[in-house]
Amino acid sequence: MSLTPAHEWGLKSDIVPRFGARLIQEGNRLHYLADRAGLKGKFTPEQLQDLERSFPAITEQLENLLRTGELNPRQQHQVVVHLAGFTCIADTCGSYGYVYITIYP
């Protein structure tokens, strides 16, 4: 998981450390682009490894929320996913094509 530290991606939050990203939405599928992701604060090496291992499962849960309509591309509404010691807050922000996320331990 390569990260871009220069720009803060994802949902804005005061929580640190956190990982933020803007995922591309294509139907009920989400695509991760490394140049649209970054870290704020300092994760331990172990936390980074755990995040990298957990990220596909978190993404899968978000895709399930797209399928059920709880995460809606036309409507701003935050959803929360808890997995493997991480909390993920996600919202489309009514963007018609993006899902903004923030993940923290």
**pTM for this structure?**
0.90
CA 37 to mean position of chain CA atoms: 9
Give the pairing type, strands 98-104 and 86-91. antiparallel
Residues 53-98: tens digit of each pLDDT: 999 999 999 999 999 999 998 899 999 999 999 999 999 999 889 9
Query: Which fold would CATH assign to domain 18-104?
Result: Beta-Lactamase (3.30.450)
What's the N-to-C CA distance of the chain in angstroms? 17
User: What are the sequence ranges of the domains in the chain?
Assistant: 18-104
Q: What's the pLDDT tens digit per position in 3-22?
A: 444 567 899 899 999 999 99
